Amino acid sequence: MNSVGEACTELKREYDQCFNRWFAEKFLKGESAGDPCGQLFKRYQRCVQKAIKEKDIPIEGLEFMGPSKGKTENSS
């Protein structure tokens, strides 16, 4: 599947390959430490954010996963 921005498709492919390799070769074997694909994901994320702005895609009302998502204000 291509990315939202044509310029981001190659970054998406690289990230997908990295994640799938890590998932199959490490995570499923119990090795969950580290984030070997984090920098690739950040580059891809920035590219997608830029493409969304350039294409003027409305994103109001959409929730994105992030470090603080999934936690309620009252959770401890």
Taking the alpha carbons at both ends of the chain, their separation in whole angstroms is 38
Q: Say yes or no to pLDDT of 26 above 70.
A: yes
11 in any annotated domain: yes
Structural domain boundaries, residue 49: 6-55
Helix axes 38-54, 9-25, angle to 10 degrees: 150
Which of 1-5, 10-14, 71-75 comes out lowest in average pLDDT? 71-75
Phi, psi of 64 (to 5 degrees): -115, 145
46 in any annotated domain: yes
Which pair of tokens denotes residue 63? 């929730």
The reported pLDDT for the residue numbered 55 is 82
- State the pTM of this model: 0.69
Q: Say yes or no to pLDDT of 73 above 50.
A: no
69 in any annotated domain: no
Contact between 5 and 50 (Cβ < 8 Å): yes
66 in any annotated domain: no
14-34: average pLDDT = 92
The reported pLDDT for the residue numbered 76 is 42
